[in-house]
Structure 1
């Protein structure tokens, strides 16, 4: 996914867990969705886009994750919706899998 494309900045790349147990969707630059620049710094733990996601939904998403970084003390984990081999813009099969994964998240109850 080329840097500078809409997909690079506006599609979810991963979900980052925050210290309060909520989740923040990040783009390919590890910035909150919609952030175009790479230089702006964000405090994930206080960002207003954090959301509570039910544990069952997180489990289902992690089963489909391309990669998982588990929680560590003072370093909440994250997981990835795709990687360089499964970029959703690189073909119909990757796009379908990505959309199916996002559908799991989209159907979660928002709190």
Structure 2
């Protein structure tokens, strides 16, 4: 379980597209950011699914730790580049978060 540090609970690990086309932002345990649990979560039961304006393949490639342009599941880091493991990993992660933070949420 990776829920023993701040980044694993409160920072985005991945962004996963849902069947309706909206996204949920997940922590290291594939729970919505801020959820500190290992219990199964049904995303549709919570107001956490959103549509991001401008989240196409080009932006997905910039958000992905390895440049993957798939918009189905976008990983901001992986076990080989955990942001807290080195200043360089953190710098790269924060660059991706800067891009992510500029996206608008569609209402």
Q: TM-score range by the shorter chain?
A: 0.7 to 0.9
How far apart in 2 are the matches of 1:58 and 1:14? 15
CA contact 1:20–1:45 (8 Å) conserved in 2 = no
Superposition deviation, residue 3 in structure 1: 4.2
Cα displacement string for residues 28-85 of structure 1 (whole angstroms, at most 9, x for unaligned residues): 00000111121x221224431111112x3343442131365x58xxxxx312000111
- The size of the alignment, in residue pairs, is 103
CA contact 1:53–1:109 (8 Å) conserved in 2 = yes
1:33 counterpart residue number: 33
2:14 counterpart residue number: 14
SS of the residue 1:12 aligns to: coil
Gaps of 5+ in 2: none
CA contact 1:89–1:95 (8 Å) conserved in 2 = yes
1:5 counterpart residue number: 5
1:63 counterpart residue number: 61
TM-score (normalised: structure 2): 0.82
Which structure 1 residue ranges, 4+ long, deviate > 4 Å from structure 2? none
How far apart in 2 are the matches of 1:37 and 1:100? 28
SS of the residue 1:20 aligns to: coil
